[in-house]
C-alpha cells in the first residue's frame, strides 16, 4: 500500500509547480510540522494554509511576496541562502521574470490545493501593498508625487535605523568591505563632489536630494550653494532640520519640487543620485532635456542610477517591487541611459560601474535592520519591515549575480572649459 504523502510533501509539490521546477531547491516545513525537501537545503516555513491560497491566486513572485510580507511564509536561518535558492531556478530565474504559467500547471496547482483543503476566496493583500493607478497617468507629476510619498514617507526614524547616521539611500563607495557603511557613504558623497568639480560659490542642483546628505556635504566641505529638490515632505523636513543644526541654511535651499518645475537655472553642476529610476522610460528624454537646459555651458551633470543588466525589460505593475517597494519605478540599461544622455549634446566624461559596491551597501542595510528589528517594527509595521528585508536582501543577490548594476555617468555641457585629459581630478 502506497504511503500517503505528508502535508509538507504536497505543499512542496505546489511550490515546485509555482517555481517551475521538479527538484526543490529548498526544504519545506508545513503548518502541521511535517517537512519535505533536501535535508541540507535552506528551510522555508509555510505557517498557514493561506500562504498556499495566495499562490493559487497569484502563482509567482507576487504571490510569494504577499505570503512573506503577511508572515504566512517565513525563512529560518540564512535569508540570503533561501532567497538565492528560490530566485536562481526555474520560472523566477528567467530573464523576463514571468514565463507563461500554463493551464496544465495551474490545474495541477489547484488540484494540490484542493487536496489540502486550502481553496477559497483570494486573501486580502497585506496592508503594505499599494496601487496608485488612480493618482493620474503613469509618470504624471501627481502620480510621481504619490509614488515617491509611498516609498519615502514611511518614517524618518525607520530610515535612520536602516541607513545609519549618514542617511544616504544610495550605493556607497567602499575601499574594502571592512571600512564600514558610514565611511563608505562619506567616500561616495565626496566622490560625487570631486567629479562635479565643486568649489566655493559653485551653484549645485541636487535632484532627488533625499534627507540632504549630499547637499550638506557639498556646502560644508566644498562651499557650494545648493538647491536640493525632493517630492517627499518627510525627507525635506528632516533635511532642513539637519542643515539648520549645521548652520548651513544660508547655503542650501531644500524644496518639495518636481524636477520639471525648477525654473531658476542655470546651475554650474547637477547631481542626480538614485533618482532616475523613478523617471520612467517614456519620460527619460524629458528628464535629460530638462536637466541639460538647467546646466550652464561647460557645467557638469552626474547621473547615478541602477541599471537592469538582464536583457530587455518593461515596467510591470504586477511584480513585488512595483506593488511593495517602488511603484512605477523603471530600470533602464546603461546603454539606453547613455544614449539618452548624449542625445541632448552632453559629452560623456566618465562612466564608473559600482555594482559590487551596492551589494555591500545592501548587506549593511539588512544587517542594520536585523540588529534593530523590534525598534524598526515599532517605527512602522511588521509587514513594512518584512518588505524592506525581502527587497534589500534580494537586491543584494541581484547585484552580486550581475542581474542589476549601478553606474555613475559624468557628463559636461559643451561651451565652457575643456574637460580634463584624464580622471586626475577625482580618482
* Contact in structure between 296 and 266 (CB atoms under 8 Å): yes
**213 assigned to some structural domain:** yes
State the total domains in the chain. Answer: 2
Tell me which residue range forms the domain holding 154. 141-425
Statement to judge: residues 259 and 313 lie in one domain: yes
Statement to judge: residues 147 and 229 lie in one domain: yes
Statement to judge: residues 169 and 45 lie in one domain: no
**69 assigned to some structural domain:** yes
**162 assigned to some structural domain:** yes
CATH number of the domain to which 213 belongs: 3.40.50.150
- 128-163 tens-digit pLDDT: 998 776 567 888 999 999 989 988 988 999 999 999
Q: What is the pLDDT of residue 313?
A: 66
* Contact in structure between 260 and 207 (CB atoms under 8 Å): no
* Rounded distance between C-alpha atoms, residue 291 and residue 272, angstroms: 9
* Rounded distance between C-alpha atoms, residue 304 and residue 106, angstroms: 41
* Contact in structure between 162 and 376 (CB atoms under 8 Å): yes
Q: How do beta strands 203-207 and 27-29 pair? A: unpaired
Which of 115, 149, 170 corresponds to the end of one domain?
115
**348 assigned to some structural domain:** yes
Statement to judge: residues 64 and 176 lie in one domain: no
Q: What is the pLDDT of residue 99?
A: 54
Q: How many H-runs (helices) and E-runs (strands) does the chain carry?
A: 16, 11
**122 assigned to some structural domain:** no
Cell reading at 41 = 537545503
Statement to judge: residues 276 and 414 lie in one domain: yes
* Rounded distance between C-alpha atoms, residue 146 and residue 160, angstroms: 22
Statement to judge: residues 351 and 394 lie in one domain: yes
Which 8-state DSSP code applies to residue 125?
A: P
Q: What is the pLDDT of residue 311?
A: 74
| DSSP result, 284-328 | HHHHHHHHHHHEEEEEEEEEEEEEE-SS-----TTSHHHHHT-TT
* Contact in structure between 24 and 8 (CB atoms under 8 Å): no
Statement to judge: residues 369 and 235 lie in one domain: yes
Which of 98, 115, 132 corresponds to the end of one domain?
115
Low-confidence residues in the chain, pLDDT < 70: 1-2, 94-100, 133-135, 313-315
| DSSP result, 175-195 | SSTTS-HHHHHHHHHHHHHHH
Q: What is the pLDDT of residue 4?
A: 81
Amino acid at each position: 500500500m502506497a504511503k500517503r504523502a505528508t502535508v509538507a510533501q504536497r505543499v512542496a509539490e505546489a511550490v515546485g509547480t509555482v517555481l517551475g521546477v521538479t527538484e526543490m531547491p529548498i526544504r519545506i516545513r508545513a503548518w502541521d510540522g511535517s517537512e519535505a525537501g533536501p535535508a541540507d537545503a535552506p528551510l522555508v516555513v509555510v505557517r498557514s494554509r493561506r500562504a498556499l491560497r495566495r499562490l493559487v491566486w497569484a502563482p509567482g513572485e507576487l504571490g510569494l511576496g504577499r505570503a512573506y510580507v503577511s508572515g504566512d511564509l517565513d525563512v529560518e536561518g540564512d535569508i540570503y541562502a533561501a532567497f538565492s535558492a528560490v530566485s536562481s531556478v526555474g520560472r523566477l530565474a528567467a530573464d523576463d521574470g514571468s514565463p507563461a504559467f500554463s493551464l496544465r500547471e495551474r490545474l495541477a496547482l489547484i488540484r494540490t490545493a484542493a487536496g489540502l483543503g486550502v481553496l477559497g476566496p483570494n486573501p486580502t493583500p497585506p496592508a503594505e501593498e499599494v496601487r496608485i493607478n488612480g493618482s493620474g497617468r503613469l509618470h504624471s507629476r501627481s502620480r510621481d508625487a504619490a509614488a515617491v510619498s509611498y516609498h519615502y514617507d514611511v518614517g524618518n526614524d525607520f530610515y535612520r535605523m536602516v541607513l545609519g547616521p549618514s542617511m544616504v539611500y544610495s550605493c556607497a563607495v567602499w575601499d574594502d568591505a571592512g571600512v564600514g557603511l558610514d565611511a563608505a557613504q562619506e567616500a561616495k558623497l565626496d566622490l560625487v563632489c570631486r567629479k562635479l568639480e565643486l568649489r566655493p560659490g559653485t551653484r549645485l542642483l541636487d535632484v532627488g536630494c533625499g534627507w540632504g546628505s549630499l547637499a550638506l556635504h557639498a556646502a560644508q566641505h566644498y562651499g557650494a550653494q545648493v538647491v536640493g529638490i525632493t517630492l517627499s515632505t518627510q525627507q525635506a523636513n528632516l533635511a532642513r532640520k539637519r542643515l539648520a543644526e549645521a548652520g548651513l541654511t544660508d547655503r542650501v535651499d531644500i524644496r518639495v519640487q518636481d524636477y520639471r518645475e525648477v525654473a531658476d537655472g542655470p546651475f554650474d553642476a547637477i547631481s542626480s543620485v538614485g533618482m532616475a529610476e523613478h523617471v520612467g522610460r517614456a519620460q527619460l528624454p524629458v528628464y535629460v532635456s530638462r536637466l541639460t537646459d538647467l546646466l550652464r555651458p561647460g557645467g557638469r551633470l552626474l547621473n547615478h542610477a541602477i541599471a537592469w543588466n538582464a536583457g530587455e525589460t518593461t515596467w510591470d505593475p504586477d511584480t513585488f517591487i512595483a506593488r511593495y517597494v517602488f511603484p512605477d519605478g523603471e530600470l533602464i540599461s546603461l546603454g539606453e541611459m547613455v544614449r539618452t544622455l548624449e542625445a541632448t549634446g552632453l559629452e560623456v566624461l566618465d562612466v564608473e560601474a559600482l555594482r559590487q559596491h551596492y551589494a555591500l551597501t545592501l548587506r549593511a542595510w539588512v544587517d542594520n535592520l536585523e540588529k534593530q528589528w523590534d525598534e524598526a517594527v515599532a517605527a512602522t509595521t511588521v509587514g513594512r519591515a518584512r518588505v524592506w528585508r525581502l527587497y534589500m536582501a534580494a537586491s543584494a543577490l541581484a547585484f552580486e549575480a550581475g542581474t542589476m548594476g549601478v553606474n555613475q555617468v559624468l557628463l559636461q555641457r559643451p561651451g565652457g572649459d575643456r574637460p580634463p585629459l584624464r580622471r586626475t581630478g577625482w580618482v
